[in-house]
Amino acid sequence: MLIRLLLLGALGLIGYQVFLRRRRLPVHIVLVLGMLLLAGLAVLFPDMTTVVANRLGVGRGADLVNYLVEVGLLFIVIHYYAKFVELQEQITVLAREIALLRERQERLGAAARGTGAGSNAPSS
């Protein structure tokens, strides 16, 4: 069937991408490749998912796959939200540091020129 070919091709491509980007711990890679293998098996033998689903108390294999995908996507969204917040905090720290450094630089520059910018002179 054409759909199987398409799905297997996509899974293979994902696996190749993951393999190319193998900078992380091998554990991550093994985990991802393992999941891809399971997905590949589900594509080749769809009835297998129904067997597993029945064991877990779900009627159809397709439903089980659906649930897993939903939970997985939510997990990914939360993961990236946390990353996003962390990044925002880091940007804040950087911009603050630049603001403080520039102020000091301007003050030192004014002092060096001897223009005596009275209001900006250090108070202590």
Partner 1 sequence: MGAVVSGLTRGAWRVVVVDDGSADDTAEAARGAGATVLRHILNLGQGAALQTGIDFAVAEGAERIVTFDADGQHDPADIPALLAALDAGADVALGSRFLGAMEGVSRPRALLLRIAVAVSNTISGVHFSDAHCGLRALRASVAPALRITQERMAHASELLRNIRTQRLRVVEVPITVRYTAYSRSKGQGVLQGLRILFDYFLRRSGRPPRERPC
The residues binding partner 1 (CB under 8 A) are: 81-82, 85-86, 88-89, 91-92, 95-96, 98-100, 102-103, 119-120, 122-124
- Burial label, 49 (beta-carbon count in 10 A; 0-12, 13-18, 19+): buried
Nearer to partner 1, 54 or 105 (CB): 105
Give how far Cα 24 sits from Cα of 19, 27, 32, 80, 119, Å: 10, 8, 12, 17, 53
Least distance CB 102 / partner 1 (angstroms): 7
Taken in order 78, 82, 85, 87, the sign of the CA dihedral is negative
- The least distance separating partner 1 from the CB of residue 91, rounded to whole angstroms, comes to 7
For partner 1, give the closer residue by CB, 22 or 102: 102
Q: How far is the CB of 88 from partner 1 (least distance, A)?
A: 7
